Structure 1
Amino acid sequence: MPSVADSMVALREIAAAAPVVALANAFARHEHEFALVGGPVRDAMLGRPVTDLDFTTSAQPEETSAILTEMGAKIWDVGRDFGTIAARVLGETVEITTYRAEIYRDDSRKPEVTFGDTIEGDLVRRDFTINSMALMLPEMRLVDVSGGVEDLLARKIRTPGSAESSFSDDPLRMLRAARFAAQLGFEVVPDTQEAMVRLADRLDIISAERIRDELVKLLCAHDPIPGIRLLVDTTLAERFLPELTALVATQDDHGRHKDVYEHSLTVLTQTIEMEIARREDPEAGPDIVLRLAALLHDIGKPATRRFEPSGVTFHHHDMVGAKLAKKRLRELRFDNDTVKRVARLIELHLRFFGYSDQPWTDSAVRRYVRDAGTELGQLHILTRADVTTRNRRKAERLDHAYDDIERRIDELAEAEELAAVRPELDGEQIMALLGVKPGPVIGQAYKFLLELRLDEGPVGEEVATERLLAWWATIEKDAQ
């Protein structure tokens, strides 16, 4: 953590920004308190980039809107009922929230909000001490009622008051604890962890969308593993991702197979390392589809584990895992495209293994590319990351084999435009050659030509026409 002097310099720089000065002066003219609060204060003090400007004020939402309108700011509601107004001020997007207190009732998915009167009362109700600091503006006075500075220095995550009360008021805070542990590399203090265990079932009142969003934020961390471990250890993951906690039950104390849970975490770590190393755009964000696939790629193993004379087997765990992932991600309200792509990666993640024993034909390589589709680059990373063996010779053999398949894909792509594998004849040409109208037979003919393309590569329109007519003659003969 930077020195106190450096932290104050960072805070002064934020406070000196034109939009912040304009806002602070406007609220002061209307005799309302105004403060930078939460994440921006924390990140500035840690020397991290400040990407969001969150403010709190004594002004009621309608008063905030009036002040912003007077400033000529563009305004939109992101949660007026919860006291939050968003605006664009001098080119900067900001959120301003009225001092508040909120709690969840036992059977409610939404907080009940009441507005407060003091900055101290507002800060005490926030999630963690490191997020419970405010910089009063324009006077530049730091308000820290719960020891947030001390916890930043100690790299600790704790609630301002009773953890039971905090997590009862907003159970999502338990997931936020895991996320901050991963993002900041901080430790959640023991009594807060114990409260997470006791109140895990309280998470059931939170909407799937909010849980999904926290999971995504956690996976966006450079190292999400500490947060994932915390979710599993406190049984929170069991409430929304039971397939992950089921991997713990497949741990093997007798050495008959590798620890599936620890293997999955290692694969996720290696996936993130490769993803970052292979990014063509340094500004690109984390690949959530790939990270979800890495975390969940073996969730089909518990259901398929069999103890056989030859050893432990997990036959078809790729297919079972893909189905489980689809079901779980849909329940978490992930969009259809994400669900489809994650499931495809899980379904294909075993396809490569065995290539090193018997290199594939060109036809098999083409099918691999065809089946992976737009996820081919992600499949390359996931498949490589799935190698966690401690046997150096085996690891090197698999690495060299995948080098070879990537080389062959590149060579075939250059020679055959492999990324756009399609028959030489399109639907209109097929109908003209066969003298038929649109219908199921066109799809059958297209599939025949696609198989021809995959098996033999580009054959040209003339040969494709000859083979199609020969196929059609056989179809007509069988129909007689």
Structure 2
Amino acid sequence: MANAWQGLQELDGWLRPLAVAFAAAGQPIFLVGGSVRDALLGRLTHDLDFTTPARPQEIIEIVTPLASTVWDTGIEYGTVSALVKGMTLEITTFRADQYDGQSRNPEVTFGDTLDGDLVRRDFRVNAMALELATEGEHTFLDPLGGLDDLAAGVLDTPDSPQISFNDDPLRMLRACRFVSQLGLQVAPRVESAMQDMSTQIQRITVERVAVELNKLMLGEQPWSGLDLMVTTGLAEHVLPELPALKLTQDEHRQHKDVYWHSLKVLGNAVELERERGMKPNLELRWAALMHDIGKPETRDFNENGNVTFYQHEVVGARMTRHRLRALKYSKQHIKDISELVRLHMRFHGYGQGNGSAEDDGTWTDSAVRRYVTDAGDLLPLLHLLVRADCTTRNKNKARRLQRTYDGLEQRITELQEQENLEAVRPDLDGNQIMEILQLKPGRDVGRAWAYLKELRLDRGPLDREEAITALKQWWAEQQDHAEQDHAQHQQHKEK
């Protein structure tokens, strides 16, 4: 236990004043829930949860002298938030809520005992408390055996899981999140109840579902939480594209298991983040999970009986947009994640020529420029996604794919040094185009700008005279086409 509370010792300098302030008011205060669990796991954060029998208005009076800021936005639920020496505290009055079984919003009722407060919490590992002492050792309280569950790596409910999940179905999704974040395994009775009650998740708003999914996706083992969602049936209601990846295998037409491949790619992406010292990236992880969701819709077999998934990345991008919109993700998240899905196959074909000495399959500079330009700011994440997707049991093939992508990244670096690929723009701007072609602002200026950008991608940077010559030649061709179209239109009218 001494080692388990080492993280709390660093906070003792301000925990004591908090205990003193509440004791002076004749009230105890307890560190509770996930804060205690995380302290035991050595992962305590600066966002801490407390509980007390003091009513909300009294909490405000006690904590205000200690805090730089106090918020009462959660006061209707008995929660007062405060900023104390850089720590964010949430202090909640003991609760003894009643649920109606129809929504997850309880009838808020304040309680008078710690045990009554703890038994209404979601899981036993979140139902431990530490009573703060003004001096000496703080008192650890664990009436429901949360410490034993934590030591065993088990996630179980204080009450029966059926009662717990009927009170708040979101707890089923929280179970999947804790599996991802903490590496715990749900107790058999919990998994059974989740399977029986999975449809109840539909009582929860999509906004709350999305919050839990994000926490799950940013966990240390998101694939474990997602697999629990699938095995219990929760995914059918919140992310149906995931179980749909479990394509039926034809013994004569074998192909890679798309479901497990997708979880593997997600795991690879997490590992790449860690290798590069990155923080967990939500866009990368979602793209890794969703990159192949277009395969069930595009699966076909060619004349040789081999499976094909033509254009699955295009279909997958559309399906990704649809799902993330349904979950009410931000427009930027939807755009970035679906674009990564759309682009993840672009690399394949690079370095795969026809076998002749003249064709090694490497792209032209123009193709490399387009790859970089299409990816834009997403290029670093696209690099990681493509590498994460290089999964195969053939180790030689896997190493060859990684070497090939090494070569592409080196090409990009070389061109970047020469041409600043991240800022690829036409060699002439809109004002120069209007001056050279004697145009007024309008559609033709936009068309000319787009032409020059395509030329820039194809040929690289041009000097001013080359760009002007090319622009004038293009414009003359446009005028010729317009005259021909006009003549054909007149002939058609005369007939």
TM-score tier by shorter-chain length is over 0.9
Name the counterpart of 1:309: 303
**Residue 5 of structure 1, CA deviation:** 3.0
Name the counterpart of 2:151: 153
Name the counterpart of 2:473: 470
Q: Residue 156 of structure 2 aligns to which amino acid in structure 1?
A: R
**Residue 142 of structure 1, CA deviation:** 1.8
**Residue 72 of structure 1, CA deviation:** 5.0
Q: Residue 403 of structure 1 aligns to which amino acid in structure 2?
A: D
Contact kept in structure 2, 1:102 and 1:169, CA below 8 Å: no
**Residue 47 of structure 1, CA deviation:** 2.5
**Residue 324 of structure 1, CA deviation:** 0.5
Which one of 267, 286, 294 corresponds to residue 292 of structure 1? Answer: 286
The alignment's TM-score, normalised by the length of structure 1, stands at: 0.94
Which one of 443, 447, 469 corresponds to residue 444 of structure 1? Answer: 447
Whole-angstrom distance in 2 between the partners of 1:380 and 1:240 = 29
Contact kept in structure 1, 2:69 and 2:82, CA below 8 Å: yes
Superimposed CA distance per residue, residues 118-157 of structure 1 (whole angstroms, 9 cap, x where no aligned partner):
1110000001111101111226222212111111121111
Name the counterpart of 1:273: 271
**Secondary structure of residue in 2 paired with 1:115:** coil
Query: How many aligned residue pairs are there?
Result: 471
**Residue 95 of structure 1, CA deviation:** 0.8
- 2:4 pairs with 1:7: yes
Superimposed CA distance per residue, residues 358-415 of structure 1 (whole angstroms, 9 cap, x where no aligned partner):
1111111111111111111111111111111112232222122111111111111111
**Residue 469 of structure 1, CA deviation:** 1.2
**Residue 29 of structure 1, CA deviation:** 1.4
Contact kept in structure 2, 1:356 and 1:398, CA below 8 Å: no
Whole-angstrom distance in 2 between the partners of 1:317 and 1:102 = 48
- 2:458 pairs with 1:461: no
Which one of 46, 49, 55 corresponds to residue 54 of structure 1? Answer: 49
**Residue 10 of structure 1, CA deviation:** 4.3
Name the counterpart of 1:376: 379
**Residue 245 of structure 1, CA deviation:** 1.0
Superimposed CA distance per residue, residues 438-473 of structure 1 (whole angstroms, 9 cap, x where no aligned partner):
111111111100010000000112111111111112
Whole-angstrom distance in 1 between the partners of 2:51 and 2:113 = 10
Contact kept in structure 1, 2:124 and 2:149, CA below 8 Å: yes
Superimposed CA distance per residue, residues 323-352 of structure 1 (whole angstroms, 9 cap, x where no aligned partner):
000111111121111110000000010011
**Residue 98 of structure 1, CA deviation:** 1.1
Change over 3 Å in CA distance of 1:119–1:260 after alignment to 2: same
Whole-angstrom distance in 2 between the partners of 1:13 and 1:415 = 52
Contact kept in structure 2, 1:73 and 1:88, CA below 8 Å: yes
Q: Residue 120 of structure 1 aligns to which amino acid in structure 2?
A: D
Name the counterpart of 1:333: 328
Whole-angstrom distance in 1 between the partners of 2:351 and 2:107 = 60
Identity percentage of aligned residues:
51
- 2:416 pairs with 1:387: no
**Residue 172 of structure 1, CA deviation:** 1.1
Change over 3 Å in CA distance of 1:96–1:274 after alignment to 2: same
Contact kept in structure 1, 2:245 and 2:258, CA below 8 Å: yes
Q: Residue 129 of structure 2 aligns to which amino acid in structure 1?
A: A
Name the counterpart of 1:29: 24
Change over 3 Å in CA distance of 1:392–1:8 after alignment to 2: closer
Q: Residue 419 of structure 1 aligns to which amino acid in structure 2?
A: E
Report which stretch shifted further, 284-293 or 83-92. Answer: 83-92
Q: Equivalent residues in 2 for 1:137-176 (5 A)?
A: 137-138=132-133, 140-176=138-174
Name the counterpart of 2:13: 17
**Residue 275 of structure 1, CA deviation:** 2.1
Name the counterpart of 1:350: 345
Name the counterpart of 1:113: 108
Whole-angstrom distance in 2 between the partners of 1:441 and 1:109 = 57
Change over 3 Å in CA distance of 1:31–1:5 after alignment to 2: same
**Secondary structure of residue in 1 paired with 2:241:** helix
**Secondary structure of residue in 2 paired with 1:242:** coil
**Secondary structure of residue in 2 paired with 1:353:** coil
Whole-angstrom distance in 1 between the partners of 2:319 and 2:225 = 22
Indicate the structure (1 or 2) with the bigger Cα radius of gyration: 2
Change over 3 Å in CA distance of 1:249–1:83 after alignment to 2: farther
Whole-angstrom distance in 2 between the partners of 1:105 and 1:423 = 63
**Secondary structure of residue in 1 paired with 2:3:** helix
Whole-angstrom distance in 2 between the partners of 1:375 and 1:182 = 26
The alignment's TM-score, normalised by the length of structure 2, stands at: 0.92
Whole-angstrom distance in 1 between the partners of 2:30 and 2:252 = 58
**Secondary structure of residue in 2 paired with 1:6:** coil
Change over 3 Å in CA distance of 1:254–1:75 after alignment to 2: farther
Contact kept in structure 2, 1:250 and 1:260, CA below 8 Å: no
Change over 3 Å in CA distance of 1:104–1:47 after alignment to 2: same
**Residue 252 of structure 1, CA deviation:** 5.4
Whole-angstrom distance in 2 between the partners of 1:164 and 1:449 = 65
Whole-angstrom distance in 2 between the partners of 1:254 and 1:54 = 57
Q: Residue 124 of structure 1 aligns to which amino acid in structure 2?
A: V
Q: Equivalent residues in 2 for 1:44-443 (5 A)?
A: 44-108=39-103, 110-138=105-133, 140-250=138-248, 256-279=254-277, 284-310=278-304, 311-357=306-352, 358-443=361-446
Contact kept in structure 2, 1:56 and 1:99, CA below 8 Å: yes
Whole-angstrom distance in 1 between the partners of 2:53 and 2:251 = 58
Change over 3 Å in CA distance of 1:70–1:251 after alignment to 2: farther
Q: Residue 245 of structure 2 aligns to which amino acid in structure 1?
A: L
**Residue 103 of structure 1, CA deviation:** 5.0
Contact kept in structure 1, 2:369 and 2:457, CA below 8 Å: yes
Report which stretch shifted further, 74-83 or 225-234. Answer: 74-83
**Secondary structure of residue in 1 paired with 2:96:** strand
Superimposed CA distance per residue, residues 413-453 of structure 1 (whole angstroms, 9 cap, x where no aligned partner):
11111111111111111111121121111111111000100
Whole-angstrom distance in 2 between the partners of 1:271 and 1:8 = 33
Superimposed CA distance per residue, residues 251-272 of structure 1 (whole angstroms, 9 cap, x where no aligned partner):
5565610100010011111111
Whole-angstrom distance in 1 between the partners of 2:153 and 2:289 = 27
**What residue ranges of structure 2 are gaps of 5+ in the alignment?**
353-360, 484-495
Q: Residue 383 of structure 2 aligns to which amino acid in structure 1?
A: H
**Secondary structure of residue in 2 paired with 1:199:** helix
Q: Residue 211 of structure 2 aligns to which amino acid in structure 1?
A: D
Report which stretch shifted further, 137-146 or 157-166. Answer: 137-146
Whole-angstrom distance in 1 between the partners of 2:371 and 2:6 = 55
Change over 3 Å in CA distance of 1:302–1:296 after alignment to 2: same
**Secondary structure of residue in 1 paired with 2:90:** strand
Report which stretch shifted further, 442-451 or 268-277. Answer: 268-277
Contact kept in structure 2, 1:40 and 1:51, CA below 8 Å: no
